[in-house]
């Protein structure tokens, strides 16, 4: 579905992402774990062509999308939820969701608002609220709903649980899983919250200082006890 790399990404002279290769199969859930500042967000922005200078191929469903602008990648089925969510503060929840329709294609019409409220029932009660009246968790939910609206083939979630209360994180994991199970949407999640990542994905990559240091299933990850200590403990 999505084949990235080997990829290098730079901000100015800083070599942030170094020789990183990632593959995501159809409908597969993959996590990228790593501490703050190891290049997770840069990798996501590289996949979307949203800032860093990128060197290396990116293929989506076999099509080479290297060099395509961000909007064209969104329209080819990459639903990106940036770390800072970027909700429209002056638009209502329903209007915010509808903005996701810009990524829809003729042969792939967007969901209806009803569908979205089916996946995230909480948003139904909030639909007339404006963006700036939402809590962090509600904003995160809304940002994901907006990305889903255009029926992406692959969701890219950049630290979705950052700043959220534990109760909300559990709900979020359940809802994302329910949505993906129903629609076969692949998903790439950058996280520091191992528990959340484990609930939502089947495989993971560990990244440290811009380099991939481990790749495998969760069982393989658990088998090497020192990994978590070495690369994730704060």
Partner 1 sequence: MTSSTNGSTINGSTWRRDALIAAVALAVLVSLPFVANKGIVFVAGTLALHVVFGLSWNLMFGQTGLVSFGHASFFAIGGYAFAWTAKMFPQLHPLLLFAGAGVLGALVALVVGMIALRRSVGVYFAILSLALSQIVYLLLSYTPSLGQEDGLTGIRRPLLSLGLTTIDLARGDNYYYFMIAMCTLLAIGLWWVVHGSMGRVFKSIQQDPERAAFLGINVQGYRLRSFAIASGTTAIAGALYGPWLQLLTPEIAHWTFSARPILYTLLGGVQSFWGPVVGALCFAVLEYGTRTLHGLSEIVVGCILLLIVLAFPGGLLGGLSRLGKRMAGKPAVAAKPELAR
Closest separation in Å from C-beta 102 to partner 1: 4
Calpha distance 62→73 (Å, rounded): 13
Beta carbon of residue 86, minimum distance to partner 1 (angstroms, whole number): 4
Number of Cβ within a 10 Å radius of residue 184: 10
Which residue number, 27 or 50, has a Cβ lying nearer to partner 1? 50
Instruction: Give the number of other Cβ atoms within 10 Å of residue 223's Cβ.
Output: 10
In three-state secondary structure terms, 141 is helix
Q: Output the smallest distance, CB 70 to partner 1, in A.
A: 4
Q: State the minimum distance, in angstroms, from the CB of residue 134 to partner 1.
A: 7
CA–CA dist 45, 109 (Å, integer): 25
Q: Give me 201's structure tokens.
A: 């994905």
Distance in angstroms (rounded) separating the CA atoms of residues 110 and 74: 13
**Shorter beta-carbon distance to partner 1: residue 51 or 118:** 51
Backbone angles phi, psi at 177, to 5 degrees: -65, -40
How far apart are the C-alpha atoms of 233 and 133, rounded to whole Å? 35
Question: In terms of DSSP bridges, do strands 14-24 and 2-11 run parallel, antiparallel, or are they unpaired?
Answer: antiparallel
Task: Pick the closer one to partner 1 by CB: 37 or 89.
Answer: 89
Q: Which residue is associated with the tokens 């009803």?
A: 114
Nearer to partner 1, 68 or 232 (CB): 68
Interface residues toward partner 1, by CB under 8 A:
48, 50-51, 69-72, 74-75, 80, 82, 86, 88-90, 99-100, 102-104, 132-138, 146, 150, 163-165, 168
Q: Which is nearer to partner 1, 37 or 136 (CB)?
A: 136
The nearest distance, CB 156 to partner 1, in angstroms, is 9
Smaller CB distance to partner 1: residue 43 or 212?
43
Helices (H), 63-135: 70-75, 93-99, 113-119, 121-126
Q: How far is the CB of 75 from partner 1 (least distance, A)?
A: 5
């Amino acid at each position: 579905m999505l084949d990235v790399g080997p990829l290098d990404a730079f901000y100015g002279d800083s070599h942030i992402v170094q020789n990183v290769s990632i593959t995501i199969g159809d409908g597969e859930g993959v996590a990228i774990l790593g501490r703050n500042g190891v290049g997770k967000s840069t990798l996501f922005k590289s996949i979307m062509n949203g800032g860093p200078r990128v060197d290396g191929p990116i293929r989506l469903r076999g099509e080479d999308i290297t060099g395509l602008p961000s909007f064209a990648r969104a329209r080819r089925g990459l639903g990106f939820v940036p770390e800072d969510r970027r909700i429209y503060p002056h638009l209502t929840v329903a209007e915010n969701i509808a903005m996701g329709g810009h990524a829809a294609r003729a042969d792939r019409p967007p969901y209806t608002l009803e569908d979205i409220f089916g996946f995230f029932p909480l948003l139904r009660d909030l639909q007339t609220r404006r963006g700036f009246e939402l809590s962090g968790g509600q904003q995160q939910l809304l940002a994901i709903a907006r990305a889903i609206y255009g029926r992406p083939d692959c969701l890219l979630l950049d630290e979705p649980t950052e700043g959220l209360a534990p109760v909300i994180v559990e709900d979020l994991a359940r809802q994302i899983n329910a949505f993906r199970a129903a629609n076969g949407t692949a998903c790439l999640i950058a996280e520091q919250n191992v528990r959340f990542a484990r609930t939502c994905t089947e495989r993971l990559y560990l990244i440290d200082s811009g380099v991939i240091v481990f790749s495998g299933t969760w069982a393989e990850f658990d088998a090497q006890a020192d990994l978590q200590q070495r690369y994730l403990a704060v």
